[in-house]
Amino acid sequence: MTDLENWLNLRVEDPLEPDLPICDPHHHLWNRPNNRYLIDDLLRDINSGHNIVNTVFVECGAMYRDEGADALMPVGETEFVQSIADQCESRQQISTSIAAGIVSHANLALGDNVVPVLEAHIAASGNRFRGIRHISAWHVNDEIGASRNKPAQGLLMDPNFRKGFAYLQQYGLSFDAWLYHTQLREMVDLARAFPEIQIILDHIGGPLGIGPYKGKRKEVFTEWQQSIEALATCPNVAAKLGGVGMPSNGFNWHERDTPPSSMELAESMAPYFKFCIDKFGVERCMFESNFPVDKVSFSYSVMWNAFKYLSKDFSPDERASLFYNTAAKVYRLTKDH
């Protein structure tokens, strides 16, 4: 057992409302040095007591092709996840539809040349391929820096990126957006320029709590609110409620002697999540795990308990949207796929 698992086991809770149907619309699978999260790891988390009906895999730069054209290398990730989904489907003891939807990466800045990449992803994934994520998270401060794929500053405004982005409509694909709160106005501009393309805002738009934003949660929250309010006026945008376990948010749960309880998590998440729900509506909001990234701060089971605590005063129909229906609608899933 790893040090992380030993630490997470210091906080064990019985699952609340274990029959409530859930779609987890954001998880990864990877095999990195000293950081493995493959299907058996995911299944251990999923089988911790909550009713996870199906999941959506979101790109994480894993299992790329190691030969061929550079632009087509990300298709290896789709091929890998499709094979995992097929294996899970053949294992009768697995009741969850793993990777019922697949979101992969394509370099949209290729412009017209992104078309063969999109077509290769679709061909590799059969009826599971749903969209593209091209991460744009960038910041001038070195402590925050750029995300894994080192995007250029102002990527969402780049004409070549937008030329490639436009093809998502032609192929019926959605776009997952991962960026920081300082870039949300660029996302507003993009969403208004392409009103027919479904955009999903990952991790509530990345409110920062490190670097120059450390100790400035109130100021960041105010700026974030203003940008979220503007983005919510775009009917083609939906929001994922999660991702706050990442160290970049500045809650620092990962540095504690014991993990936070679900009630403490719910209290910390509530101002952000409830503001999103108020502005977007439950029909455009969905809870997400962002595992294993958020696993540095809390366990899968405690996290879903927190979401259930947070939403306890909502109506059954509203909760059904937050836990399942919005994700199923946005990613065009059925309870089988």
pLDDT tens, position by position, 268-293: 999 999 999 999 999 999 999 999 99
How far, in Å, CA of 264 to CA of 12, rounded? 14
C-beta of residue 180 within 8 angstroms of C-beta of residue 206: yes
Residue percentage of the chain with pLDDT more than 90: 92
Residue 186 has pLDDT above 90, yes or no: yes
Domains within the chain, CATH numbers bracketed: 3-330 (3.20.20.140)
Paired tokens of 156: 């969402």
How far, in Å, CA of 274 to CA of 68, rounded? 46
Compare 292 and 334 and report the one with higher pLDDT: 292
62 confidence band (pLDDT: 50, 70, 90): very high
How far, in Å, CA of 276 to CA of 75, rounded? 33
Q: Give per-residue burial for 85-105: e unless 16+ CB within 10 Å, then b.
A: beebeeeeeeebbbbbbbbbb
Q: Please provide the average confidence, as pLDDT, over all residues in the chain.
A: 96
Q: Is the pTM of this model over 0.95?
A: yes
C-beta of residue 296 within 8 angstroms of C-beta of residue 4: yes
Q: What are 22-41's pLDDT values in tens digits? A: 999 999 999 998 899 999 99
Q: Quick one: average pLDDT of 44-69?
A: 97
How far, in Å, CA of 109 to CA of 158, rounded? 8
As separate numbers, helices (DSSP H) first and strands (DSSP E) second, the chain gives: 11, 10
Residue 59 has pLDDT above 80, yes or no: yes
Q: Quick one: average pLDDT of 196-200?
A: 98
